[in-house]
Amino acid sequence: MGLRKKTFVIIVSICLVLIVSLMLASRLLILNGFSHLETEHVQQDVAQAWRHIEKEIQWLSSIAGDWAPWDDTYIFIQDQNTRFIDSNLSSDTLANLGIHFMLFVDLDNRLVQATAIDPEKKEAAALPEGVWDQIRSKNALLEYPDPRQGVSGFFMFKHRPMLIASHPVVPSNYEGSPRGTLIVGKYLDTSEVKKMAEATGLSLSIHDTGNTALPDDVKTAATLISDKTPVVTIPRNTDIISGYMLQNDIQQNPGLILKADVKRKIFNQGMNTWLYFNIAVVFIGLVFIMATMYLMETSVLSPLLKLINAISAIGGNDHVSKRLPVSGKDELGELETSINGMLDRIQTAHNEIRTLEGLIPICSYCKNIRDDEGFWQKVDEFIHHHTHARFSHSICPECAKKYFPELDLYNQEEDMASPE
């Protein structure tokens, strides 16, 4: 694999690792952040929907608080006079108050008067069967330790919430013992839930916790709701997320689960943001790869390949006298300088070798050698000057016999070496 290819593979590999890491990290940070924001938004929507129901309950409580501590009501509980009924308990009165029934109960918890209207037609109607039996079973509605305080809340009637408020019937000045209880109520039926959904801009539904035929998602939410998590959110799909809130009835028992379906605008915005971020990361990665390869090519790879080609040209054509141009003061420049120094030493050695390899003029008698400048030098001086050789002087056997016969150097050595 060539140097360019290796460099490209290394840079691309590093960039791919960085891009994938950024994608995973951004998914963890961006989508989790948007998911948390979406959860908070859904919780606020569900709480807003419940506040709308609470306002209805508070309205019933204020009606009971106005009608019960009233002298006319106080007298009516005792004598059940028709004048009170004709003057105050018409269907129009209940319709204008936004309530569906008004019940007057004496101290023995007997129903003295029940006035009701049809929720849709707004006309007088009989109290639905079973309503009074359920109300009578709710002790909280008929017990009043403080005659100035009423009770309000809801209970489930035929899997539908019934908003209710009660107040002890006392004189207008609150001076006198209670004579009974006034109870006002409102059915939170499908039409009322629809109106509430339109008012809040949410898709709402109400489920009875005592209903065995609850939808699976509501059953799952019921197991997840706790004091720490009063509102549970469950994504249904990529477009809808649902929020669930459990509320206790007037007896403080689990009564209903309020469900709100919310479009996942925040989550989808988070997905788009993550997608755009990934596109930007990929684009930046490609730009980084191209810019890095360009810089590597112009500053490292091309000069290095030129250096390799120049060295190959010098070595291949035996141009020892040529030198590399020094391109700069960086590491490549230092390498070129070092190579030039090496070429200088090679050229010097090459010149010395060529000197020794050529014809050397030598005297036939004294054996002195003539150098290039015309001077005669002894053989040992000439070789020492042109090479790195060093001489250690000695005398051969023939010269020893010729010039120093009296010493008999080599015969003594032979006698010492011969066996006896």
CATH number at residue 164: 3.30.450.20
Give a yes or no: residue 284 inside a domain. Answer: no
What distance in Å separates the CA atoms of residue 209 and residue 206, rounded to the nearest whole number? 10
Highest-confidence range of 1-5, 143-147, 285-289, 329-333, by mean pLDDT? Answer: 285-289
Task: Identify whether residues 192 and 315 lie together within a single domain.
Answer: no
Tell me, what's the pLDDT at 329?
Answer: 67
| Whether pLDDT at 243 is above 90 | yes
Give a yes or no: residue 152 inside a domain. Answer: yes
Tell me, what's the pLDDT at 410?
Answer: 66
Tell me, what's the pLDDT at 75?
Answer: 93
Tell me, what's the pLDDT at 143?
Answer: 82
Task: Identify whether residues 210 and 135 lie together within a single domain.
Answer: yes
pLDDT band at residue 8, thresholds of 50, 70 and 90? Answer: confident
Task: Identify whether residues 301 and 162 lie together within a single domain.
Answer: no
Give the Å distances, CA to CA, from 211 to 156, 232, 241, 243, 274: 10, 19, 23, 19, 42
| Whether pLDDT at 154 is above 50 | yes
pLDDT band at residue 416, thresholds of 50, 70 and 90? Answer: very low
Highest-confidence range of 265-269, 293-297, 365-369, 384-388, by mean pLDDT? Answer: 265-269
Tell me, what's the pLDDT at 149?
Answer: 87
Give a yes or no: residue 282 inside a domain. Answer: no
Span of 136-140, 148-152, 359-363 with lowest mean pLDDT: 359-363
Task: Identify whether residues 47 and 150 lie together within a single domain.
Answer: yes
Give a yes or no: residue 28 inside a domain. Answer: yes
Task: Identify whether residues 30 and 98 lie together within a single domain.
Answer: yes
Give a yes or no: residue 277 inside a domain. Answer: no
Q: DSSP of 62-80, one letter per residue?
A: HHHHHHSB-HHHHHHHHH-
Task: Identify whether residues 155 and 220 lie together within a single domain.
Answer: yes
User: What percent of the chain clears pLDDT 70, i.e. is strictly above it?
Assistant: 84
Task: Identify whether residues 177 and 56 lie together within a single domain.
Answer: yes
Domain stops at, among 354, 379, 394: 354
Task: Identify whether residues 304 and 405 lie together within a single domain.
Answer: no
Give a yes or no: residue 402 inside a domain. Answer: yes
Span of 61-65, 182-186, 300-304 with lowest mean pLDDT: 300-304
pLDDT band at residue 229, thresholds of 50, 70 and 90? Answer: confident
- The total number of residues written for the chain in this structure: 420
Task: Identify whether residues 201 and 306 lie together within a single domain.
Answer: no
pLDDT tens digit sequence for 208-228: 998 888 999 999 999 999 888
Contact 184, 68 (CB under 8 A): no
| Whether pLDDT at 97 is above 90 | yes
Domain stops at, among 354, 380, 406: 354
Give a yes or no: residue 275 inside a domain. Answer: no
Average pLDDT, the chain: 84
Task: Identify whether residues 194 and 312 lie together within a single domain.
Answer: no
pLDDT tens digit sequence for 300-354: 777 777 777 767 766 655 556 666 666 666 666 667 677 777 777 776 766 666 6
pLDDT band at residue 420, thresholds of 50, 70 and 90? Answer: very low
Give a yes or no: residue 102 inside a domain. Answer: yes
Q: Which domain range does residue 244 map to? A: 3-267
Task: Identify whether residues 182 and 301 lie together within a single domain.
Answer: no
pTM of the predicted structure, to 2 decimals: 0.67
Task: Identify whether residues 12 and 158 lie together within a single domain.
Answer: yes
What distance in Å separates the CA atoms of residue 55 and residue 52, rounded to the nearest whole number? 5
> Region 364-390: what's the mean pLDDT?
71
Amino acid at 169: V
Per the model's pLDDT, the better-predicted residue between 351 and 42 turns out to be: 42
Count how many domains the chain has: 3
